[in-house]
Amino acid sequence: NAGVTQTPKFQVLKTGQSMTLQCAQDMNHEYMSWYRQDPGMGLRLIHYSVGAGITDQGEVPNGYNVSRSTTEDFPLRLLSAAPSQTSVYFCASSYSGTGVYGYTFGSGTRLTVV
Amino acid sequence: RKEVEQDPGPFNVPEGATVAFNCTYSNSASQSFFWYRQDCRKEPKLLMSVYSSGNEDGRFTAQLNRASQYISLLIRDSKLSDSATYLCVVNYNNDMRFGAGTRLTVKP
């Protein structure tokens, strides 16, 4: 099915470990983004990309890196995991960052850092 | 102060009731506005965009008041399937800011 695919769905990391959350879309969307969702705080934008080779920081970028080498893929790297990064992570894509076409979200990655 | 603020609820209403949610935003230069729906432990999904003139989609009506920086969502004739968390979303220059959501439970 067309859409946004995130892997893994669940992950437990130890403090200090690094990992990459994968995100792929097959809708030829130019805009992709990563959010984290914490209880009572809503989704917060980590990084976004308006096209291959272009990335920018969102509201909470510290501790995360991204790259966009292809239109389809937008991986999120945790450099040195901390308990404060325990959260649910959503990848989203759209034809445009303005949101007027709606964002399509992946099903999420539930990350626990111990 | 949060950029997008919503009453977290929960709103517990009987089937057939009319319920309204409100949202305020702090950035007066915000460009576009939306309501998303999120079911428990699922990803958010676009419910509807919000236009200055107000817009309706079936049982759902959205209103925007730019002067007061206020957005609303009205649900008429509530169904059990409307139970979810409703997220108010505001966009400025490719930066979509989400409210924390309002939880709605529709009971038989």
Q: What is the pLDDT of residues A2-34, one digit of tens each?
A: 799 999 999 999 999 999 999 999 999 999 999
- Predicted local confidence at residue A1, as pLDDT: 63
Give the closest residue to A58 by CA, choosing from A85, A34, A25: A34
**Taking CB atoms and an 8 Å limit, are B100 and A40 in contact across chains?**
yes
- Count other C-beta atoms under 10 Å from residue B53's C-beta: 7
- Predicted local confidence at residue B94, as pLDDT: 79
CB < 8 Å to A58, chain B: 95
pLDDT in tens, A49-61: 999 999 999 999 9
Nearest CA in chain B to A91: B43
Task: Please give the average per-residue pLDDT across A63-82, as a whole number.
Answer: 97
Instruction: For residues B67 and A79, give the distance between their C-alpha atoms in angstroms, rounded to a whole number.
Output: 43
